[in-house]
Structure 1
Amino acid sequence: MQTRKLNPLEFHETRTNPKRVEAGEPIVDFWEYVAAIPAEDFAFADCRAGNVTHVYRMDDKYEHVLINSQYQGVAMVIVVDLQSQSIYGHMLLDLNPAGTKEPDH
């Protein structure tokens, strides 16, 4: 399966008017895609536990599915294109303040 690592600009362009999704089933099964993401795209984060606690809908265009890592504020985001019902790409999102020391692994 082919994956697509989004750069920050591509990711930002999918982020419009986010609203948290509180319940429901995923539009697409994204776990096969997650398994195909190259290890280097996870950098220092370990998202293998597969804990999804946040999903955000972006103006009925995209959904951002956040797969938590072992670190607070760091998650792999799977971006789902709602129109095509396919995965648009992924990006490791680190919400910690700039200059925060990378966790020891």
Structure 2
Amino acid sequence: MSGLREFVGSPVKILTSDGRLFVGNLEGYDQNTNVVLTMSTERAFSSKASTQEKSIGGVVIRGDDVICVGSYDGEIEKSTDYTKIFAEELKDTKNPLK
């Protein structure tokens, strides 16, 4: 968790367990990795259709859904055409109880 401290106040990318990618400013987080983003965009990837993108403003993402948090590079974002990126759904990330 202490690794997130350096990202507070900065733009980040967050990948969730259902395969969505959120891009926005990290405003805060807690001990459960619940994160708060502002000025955010959600990208939903599919293997059958081009990437869907929508501006959602502020969002709270539950820590259980966070797979990874990474830095954001504006130059790379400008040069990436997400409409040409297709992706398979992520496998289930939860371990079932037996």
| Alignment TM-score, normalising by the size of structure 1 | 0.29
Structure number with higher strand proportion:
2
- Rg bigger for which structure? 2
